[in-house]
Amino acid sequence: MLRRAIYPGSFDPIHLGHLDIIERVSKQFDELVVLVSDSTSKTYLFSATDRMNLVKKELSHLKNVKVDSFSGLTVDYAKKKDAQVIIRGLRAVVDFEYEMTMSSMNQKLNDQIETMLVFARPEFYYYSSRGVKEIASHGGDLSGLVSPSVMQALHQTFRNKG
């Protein structure tokens, strides 16, 4: 059986903390799908297509990682694609309660799909898309937080916003 995992998230935009999780987890599975969520209840800086394209640019060196976008329930996507595992990243304790609730709800919806939590490496504990956007909105230095193409996309977007 092909071991396939899904890593769902907003990735608005992808940063180096996400990328570290993707690189580490992809070694543990035959295939990893980075699932860019497009929820109607969330507002994003980048469109789903732009977020997907930015993710894709980071991953060309990882042959078993695919990128897709979805607006429904992650467990439904996982079932459709025959994936057994949902991956989520954990930073500090503040992530824990949210992730535990999500994992329990997903288990209730489909108990054949396991959520696995992966700890961020300490150097990425404080990385967040929200922080990255805040820095970018003030024209701050994003090096070491995101890749050059994400940096360019952020600066361009905030320049256009004036």
Residues forming contacts to ligand ADP in the complex (CB under 6 A) are 9-11, 17-18, 21, 88-89, 91, 95, 120, 124, 127-129
Residue 160 neighbours by CB distance under 10 Å: 7
Please say which residue, 42 or 138, places its beta carbon nearer to ligand ADP. 42
- Closest contact distance (angstroms) between CB of 162 and ligand ADP is 26
Catalytic residue among 57, 81, 91, 103: 91
Could you give the CA distance from residue 89 to residue 135 in angstroms, rounded to a whole number?
A: 22
* Catalytic, out of 4, 10, 15, 18: 18
Exposure string for 32-59, b = 16+ CB within 10 A, e = fewer: bbbbbbbeeeeebbbebebbbebbeebb
Minimal distance in Å, beta carbon 98 to ligand ADP? Answer: 8
Q: Please indicate whether residue 80 is annotated as part of the active site.
A: no
The set of residues, in sequence order, having a beta carbon less than 8 Å from that of 60 and lying 6+ positions away, is none
Q: Is 81 a catalytic residue?
A: no
Active site (catalytic) residues: 18, 42, 91, 129
